[in-house]
Structures are given as structure tokens and as C-alpha cells.
Amino acid sequence: MKFTTIANAKKQTGLSYIGNINSSAKMIKNKKVNHEYTYIIYLAPAEISGYNVCSHSTPECRMGCLATSGHAGMELQAGKKTIHDCRVKKTRLFYEQPEFFMAWVFAEIQMFQRKAKKDGFGFSVRLNGTSDIDWANVLINGKNIFELFPDVAFYDYTKNPNKFDNIAPNYHLTFSFSGMNWSNAKMLLQRGFNIAVVFNVLKGTTLPATFESYKVVNGDLSDFRIADAKGIIIGLKFKEIADRQMAYLLKAKSQFVVRTDDVRCNVQELVYA
């Protein structure tokens, strides 16, 4: 396959896009709160597509993955798989036709960067919406995406501690707590990076003021992690997934989702908006 234009790529693949802006509730928050258009790619997580896009995932984070929340979760509950199947198709395209895939991504980023400028918004990119690919090693004509767009701010969450070595200057990473990787998390906190922790709290209820003595901030007000202070905990509420029984087990018994009565938490007056 050879990429020529976005329109031709759509015809060749049957896909509508690889990534998009303002395509989910969290990206709309970026627009409203940070005056930012954020381009995001959602792939099929873990090994759902037959390819592993989450090298450091755990059984619990796979069970609670956001791939089955939001619009995708509502579709699954309705017995439909359109979003799921599109994400699988995009993931396979990435591995089986990488040059084609990346040329398409390059064209979309250029297109949305121009749109953001025209509309008077900032522009950022989150490549791993539901994946944990190391994009520094994905090359287009010998350069990675960060080098190709040095004026664009990129950010992601990751469970891979190795990504924090030699990060591109325009790439912001937040480390994701799995319940079993605190040693890596603490090391990164001491280096000034941030850690995302999922708490078993509902909208309008109290977030811990601290976790393991580190300050917790509300990470659900916006997804734009680039604006965060350094060396803190990004508190995220557990997002409901399609499998309600699994959601209950994760909230009640998992290490991945932290209960606010956990001894590591100090609960004070910090409330979700």
C-alpha cells in the first residue's frame, strides 16, 4: 500500500481516520479548559488485535481498560462492535503497513495543526489513547514523529519506565500506577515526573489530598497533562466499563484501583468538580 492523500487512504482501507480532535469527552475538556485541540489515536489495547501494544500492562489494567468505556463501552453493551473493530483494523494497519500508517498520521497532524491555528486554539498530540507504543522508535524516513514536528507538544501516559530515559524535549510523559510498580513510580517522582493513580471515587466525592505522602491533584478536570506541576500524583476516578461485574471487582478488590480508605491515602477537603 502507498499513501498519497487522506481521501485515498480512506478508500483503500475503509477507515474514516487514524486519529481525530475533540473526539471524546476528555479531549473536549482540553478544548474548554485549556483552549487546546488535542489530536488523539485510539488503538485496540494489549493483544486484542493480535499485536501487543501495551508491553507493561497487567491483568487488572487490561480488565479495566478505557477501551470499553465511553462510546465504545455503550456500543458493546448494545451488542455492537463498530468502534472495537475499527480500532483492531487500525492497529493491524500500524503493524502490517507501518509506512502507510505513519504517512497518514503525519498528514492528519498537519491538517489538524492548521485547523487549530485557524480557529485560534493551541495544538497538542496524544498518540497513545488506548495503547503504550514507544513512538520514539517508530521512524518515518529516519526520523520519529517528535523530530518531524518539533513545534508540536506531545504527551502520553505509560507504564513503561524505560521511556523516561532520553525523552524528546517536546514529549511529556506521565507514569501510570498499576498497583505493583510503586518502586518505579517513586523513583520517577523523585526525578520530577508525575504518577497517575486511579481511585475508587465517584464524581462529587472526595479525592485523597495525598497518596504515599505526595500531593494529589484532580486529573479529570482536563486530560492536558503538559500543564501539570511536577512531582505530584494525578488522581483519576475509575471510569465505568462495559462489564459491570468486572468493574465492581476492580473497584472492590484490585491493586490497580486504590480505595480512599487505603492507609497510603490522606483524605482531606479535595472534591471532584
How is residue 76 written as a grid cell?
Answer: 458493546
pLDDT for 199 beyond 80: yes
For residues 236-264, average pLDDT: 76
Percent of the chain surpassing pLDDT 90 = 71
- Please give the Cα distance from 108 to 124 (Å, whole number): 12
- Strands 233-237 and 194-199 turn out to be parallel
Reference 73, options 239, 201, 223; nearest CA is: 239
pLDDT at 176: 96
Q: Which pLDDT score, from 0 to 100, does residue 273 have?
A: 42
pLDDT of 214 > 90? The answer is yes
- Mean pLDDT computed over 187-207: 90
Q: Report the alpha-carbon distance of residue 158 to residue 55 in Å, rounded.
A: 10
Does residue 173 register a pLDDT over 90? yes
CA distances for 193 relative to 37, 165, 167, 182, angstroms: 24, 12, 12, 13
Instruction: Evaluate if residue 242 carries a pLDDT over 80.
Output: no
Task: Look at residue 117 in the predicted model and tell me its pLDDT.
Answer: 98
Each residue's pLDDT tens digit, 132-157 = 999 999 999 899 999 999 999 999 99
* Mean pLDDT for the stretch of residues 24-34: 93
pLDDT score for 84: 87
Over residues 66-119, the pLDDT tens digits come to: 544 444 444 545 555 778 899 999 999 999 999 999 999 999 999 999 999 999
More confident residue, 47 or 124: 124
Only one residue has cell 469527552, namely: 25
Q: Using alpha carbons, select from 144, 152, 150, 194 the residue that is nearest to residue 173.
A: 194
**How high is the pLDDT of residue 205?**
72
Q: How far apart are CA 27 and CA 21, in angstroms?
A: 7
The C-alpha atoms of residue 115 and residue 185 are separated, in whole angstroms, by: 37
How would you class 168 by CB atoms within 10 Å of its CB: exposed for 0-12, middle for 13-18, buried for 19 or more? middle
37-49 average pLDDT score: 94
| C-beta of residue 238 within 8 angstroms of C-beta of residue 248 | no
Identify the band that residue 180 occupies on the pLDDT scale cut at 50, 70 and 90: very high
Which phi-psi region, left, alpha or beta, contains residue 149 (left: φ > 0; alpha: ψ -120 to 50)? beta
What does residue 238 show for φ and ψ, rounded to 5 degrees?
A: -65, 125
Pairing of strands 206-211, 265-271: antiparallel
What backbone torsions phi and psi does residue 96 show, to the nearest 5 degrees? -95, -25
Strand runs (DSSP E) across the chain, as ranges? 19-21, 36-41, 122-126, 139-140, 143-144, 153-158, 171-176, 194-199, 206-211, 214-218, 233-237, 257-258, 265-271
- Are 64 and 254 spatial neighbours (Cβ–Cβ below 8 Å)? yes
